[in-house]
Amino acid sequence: MTGPLAGIRVLDLSRVLAGPSATQLLGDLGAEVIKIEHPERGDDTRGWGPPYVETADDAPSDLSAYFCAANRNKQSVALDIARPEGQRIARELAATSDVVVENFKVGGLAKFGLAYDDLKDSLPALIYCSITGFGQTGPYRHAAGYDYTVQGMGGIMSLTGEPEGEPMKVGVAIADLMCGMYAATAILAALRHRDATGEGQHIDLGLLDTQVAWLANQGLNYLTTGTPPPRHGNEHPNIVPYKTMPCRDGHLIVAAGNDAQFQRLCAVLDRPDLAEDARFATNRARVENRATLYPILDNLMRERDLDTWVRALTDRGIPCGPVNTLDRVFADPQVQHRGMQLTMDAPGTETGQLDLLANPIGFSATPVSYRSVPPRLGEHTEAVLRDALALDDAAIDRLHKNGVISR
C-alpha cells in the first residue's frame, strides 16, 4: 500500500455522503478503509439511482453512480451490528483501527456499545470522528440533519439564486462534501497529535456548523455590517464586472477583478469609452452603477459566440471562462491533461471498467493511489474477518448461518 497514510486503518461506520467522502479521501491518501454495511440494505446510496453501473451478467446492480462517487478504495464488510455478535466483531475491528468514522444520530451507537464513551477507555489512542446534522451538543442535537435542509438553515441558499427569484440550493450536496473535507482535515490533525502524544480523541462535527463556517466573505459581510447580504444571482457583491454574460451560443463568466482588466475588456469590446466614463472608471463606481453597466456589456457579448469571446479575452489577460455542461467539462484539454476523469478496471461490470472522478491532490513524493473500485455489498467480508481478526472458516460459516454477516 502506498501514500502518506499507508499503515493507517479506518473503520467506516458512515453512510450517504459526508462521512463516505471523508473516508474515501483518507483511502486515496493510502489508508486502509473498512466500510461496515447492513447485510441486506447496505449504504443507502447503493439504491440512489438511476444511473447504475451495469453488471456483466445483467444481474441487478448495487452500484449506483451516487454510491460510486464516494466509496472507492474501501473494503465492504456486510455486518449486522444490531446483533450482539455483530457488535462484538465491530468492537474488535475498532481495536485494530486507528480511526473510527460514524454518522449515526447522537447516541445512536451507544445502544450497540460502539459509542466513543464505550471505546475510549480500552482504546485510548483511538481517533473517533462523529458526523451529525447538528453536532453532539445544543438544542438540535437529536434532530436529523440533511444537506438540503442545512443549506437552507446555514444561509447559503439565501445567498444563491436570482435577486427576485426563490432561494436556491447548490447543485451538488455541498454541505455534506464540505463537512467531509473538515472531517478529513480534523482526522489528519488528530493523527498528528496522537503520533506526538499517544492520545486519541473524539472529533465532533455538525453539518450546520461547517455550513456556517464556509460562508466565508459573505458571512463576514454580514458580521461587519449587521445587514444580511442580498442574493446577487451570478453577480459578485463586491466586484463589477464579475458575472455570467450571454453569448450567441452559451454563457461566459467574465471576472474583471481590477480597473486595468476592465480597461482591457472595454478595448476588446471596442468600447474604450466605457473605461473612461466616471460611472465605470473604478470598481467602487462600477459597483454603484452595476444596473447601468451590465445591460450594456450583455448586449455587446451577445454579438459573438462563446469560444470566440474566450479566445479574445484570454489573449488579453482578462479572466474568463465558459459555463460548461458536463460533456464540455470532461472534453476540456486542461481537465484531460490533469487526469480528472479516472478509468479503473472493474471486473464484473458490463464494460469491465469504471469511470470515476479523480482526486485533485498532486504530491511530489507520496502520490494518491487508486487501488480498488467501489465495492459490491459484502465483497470483502470474509477477507477482512480472516486478515484483521484471524477468524477461521468455521467461525465465518457460523456468523453467516446466524445472519450476522452476508457474503
The SS3 of residue 29 is: coil
What is d(CA 312, CA 234) in angstroms, rounded to the nearest whole number?
A: 22
Q: At residue 201, what is the residue type?
A: Q
Asked if 69 and 43 count as a contact pair (C-beta separation under 8 A), the reply is no
Identify whether 62 is a catalytic site residue: no
Half-sphere exposure of residue 94: CA atoms within 13 angstroms, side-chain side: 28
C-alpha pair distances (Å), 397 with each of 48, 381, 385: 31, 12, 11
Could you give the CA distance from residue 189 to residue 312 in angstroms, rounded to a whole number? 45
* Residues sharing a CB contact under 8 Å with residue 2, sequence separation 6 or more, in sequence order: 30, 366, 367, 369
Candidates 28, 176, 204, 209; catalytic one: 176
What is the C-alpha separation between 58 and 74, in angstroms, rounded?
24
Q: How far is CA 335 from the centre of its chain?
A: 18
Burial classification of residue 332, based on how many CB atoms lie within 10 Å of its CB (0-12 exposed, 13-18 middle, 19 or more buried): middle
| CA distance from start to end of the chain | 25
Please give the Cα distance from 187 to 208 (Å, whole number). 19
149: which residues sit within 8 A by CB, 6+ positions away? 133
Shortest CA distance to 52 belongs to which of 346, 405, 358?
Answer: 346
Enzyme catalytic residues: 176
